[in-house]
Amino acid sequence: MKFFVETFGCQMNTSDSQEMARSLMARGFVPSDNARDADCILVNTCTVRQHAEDKAVSFLGRLAEWKEADPRRVLVVAGCAAERLGEKNLKRRFPHVDLVVGAKSIDRFDRLLDECMASPPRDGFDARGEDLGSWSRETRIERLLPEETVSAHVSVMRGCNYACSYCVVPSVRGREVYRPAGTVLSEVRQKAALGLKEVILLGQTVNSYRPSAAEDGVSDFAGLLRAVNQVPGVRRIRFMSPHPFYLDEKTANAMAESENVCRHMHLPVQSGSDGVLERMRRNYTRSGFLEKMSLLRRAMPDIFVTTDFIVGFPGETEEDFRATISLASEADFDGAYVFKYSSRPGTVSAGWPDDVPEAAKEARHGELLSLMEGISTKKTEAFVNRRREVLVESKGEHSFEGRLREGRKVFFTSGTPHRPGDLVPVDITGASGRTLKGRAV
């Protein structure tokens, strides 16, 4: 039996998909890179913006024919949009869906899958597969998934205790739950022993990590960074997404003193206007955010900081938007994602008039995006004529693709063969947009 996974949304979803894929493999399924041939398709959905949800829902709709061709096929819908829309609603709209596993139920994936597969029973399915869904306790990771060639996604917490007024995440993922440090470290050690070189620690506010008991000397996020830094085989450590409120000197120092922690942080700011930040309930001000940036740069003058912005938030005036534009340069960001505000049912801001006209949202989005693209191109160009270490992610016939510690993508040629996971010194010869090109030394 073959399975295929389609993941929408953030890296937390990527990590959840990998966890569910391991459960499928423990039950006799083998991964397929082609949806058409699969006996089981798992669609892991996102609902953070309406557009993300629409994409996942339209993908589901297109699977009706696949299911019709063989009704024994199994369609599983998981994740945040599944949680928001609910099982009843999804099964009514898409009768070809067999199983719905909302984001809050991912820990119960094994049991739900076994129940679903029991009627009718399917040949080749082994319901006695090990129960891997127990995210909070240690599991044996015997082999890597096909897409795990370089990076290990390791979630350290689930849920979010914040209540940003625009955000649907707390309602679909629930309150924060921290994974025991011993379990996190065991997963990192196992994946590094199997050959993965990069670890990406994941959580909605990953730096609020504070497990209920200290294990392996780890009682907070700074401690976790230091401990992962010691794991043999790990060469690069990244994390997503830190929240500015929890960014303190202890974390900045742990980063600076851990040689494998990448000099890159994605630190979402959302807006440069104090009024908007307050209505977003972000729990920091513009100047407070800038102080966090200084704290980071004092500890690591070479750090790259990228961010997220939302434009067109309810009540955002032209003056508010100008404050965002000026912050983009003042904070000296190295890159950004810019999102147009999307009203999400059930959030606080959904009760406020979505009063920035679409044309203004579009114009603000375009202006900020082009400012950030310009900044990000300049920052990329600064690497030209420098020698940098590249972690190889994939290889073509004559060239290789990889990443700098700062997160920039590099295409390079080489006289010798390299494999994904190799660290190669590269002379950077050119830049285009956010990507670099070069030649292996």
Rounded CA-CA distance 317/277 in Å is: 13
Provide the minimum distance between the beta carbon of 252 and ligand SAH in the complex, in angstroms, as a whole number: 17
Mapped onto helix, strand or coil, the DSSP state of residue 332 is coil
Neighbours of 419 (CB within 10 A): 12
CA distance 340 to 436: 28
> What's the CA gap between 354 and 292, in Å, rounded?
31
Answer whether 273's CB lies under 8 Å from 325's CB. Answer: no
Measured CA to CA, the distance from residue 175 to residue 161 in angstroms comes to 5
Smallest distance from ligand SF4 to CB 270, Å: 8
Residue 344 touches which of ligand SAH, ligand SF4, none (Cβ within 5-8 Å per kind)? ligand SAH
Task: Label residue 159 left, alpha or beta by phi (over 0 means left) and psi (-120 to 50 means alpha).
Answer: left
User: Which residues within the stretch 264-323 sit at the binding site for ligand SF4 (CB under 6 A)?
Assistant: none
- Determine, following the binding rule CB under 6 A, whether residue 79 of this chain makes contact with ligand SF4: no
Total interface residues for ligand SF4 by CB under 6 A: 10
208 binds ligand SF4 (CB under 6 A): no
Residue 441 binds what, of ligand SAH, ligand SF4, none (CB under 5 to 8 Å, by partner type)?
none
Site of interaction with ligand SAH (CB under 6 A): 48-49, 166-167, 169, 204-205, 241, 243, 268, 270, 308, 310, 339, 341-342, 344
Distance CA 51, CA 32 (A): 27
Q: Using the minimum distance from each CB to ligand SAH, give the nearer residue, 91 or 210.
A: 210
Asked, as a colleague might, if the bond just before 343 is cis with ω within 30 of 0, I would say: no
7 touching ligand SF4, by CB under 6 A: no
Q: Are 53 and 81 in contact (CB under 8 A)?
A: yes
Q: How far is the CB of 293 from ligand SF4 (least distance, A)?
A: 18
The stretch among 2-10, 155-163, 293-301, 331-339 that binds ligand SF4 (CB under 6 A) is 155-163
Sign of dihedral through CA atoms 123, 127, 129, 134?
A: positive
Contacted entry of ligand SAH, ligand SF4, none for residue 342, CB cut-off 5 to 8 Å set by kind: ligand SAH
Q: What angle do CA 364, 365, 371 make, to 5 degrees?
A: 90
> Which of ligand SAH, ligand SF4, none sits in contact with 170, Cβ below 5 to 8 A by type?
ligand SF4
Q: Could you say which of 160, 390, 391, 436 contacts ligand SF4 (CB under 6 A)?
A: 160
Question: Should residue 170 be labelled a site residue for ligand SF4 when binding is judged by CB under 6 A?
Answer: yes
The nearer residue to ligand SAH, 166 or 383, going by C-beta atoms, is 166
Q: Does 164 bind ligand SF4 (CB under 6 A)?
A: yes
The mark string for 214-243 relative to ligand SF4 (x by CB under 6 A, - otherwise) is -----------------------------x
**216: exposed, middle or buried (Cβ count in 10 Å: 0-12, 13-18, 19+):** middle
If one asks whether residue 159 binds ligand SF4 (CB under 6 A), the answer comes out as no
Spatial CA neighbour of 155 closest among 130, 133, 129: 133
- Judged by beta carbon distances under 5 to 8 A according to partner kind, the member of ligand SF4, ligand SAH, none in contact with residue 305 is none
Residues near ligand SF4 (CB under 6 A) are 160, 162-164, 167, 169-170, 204-205, 243
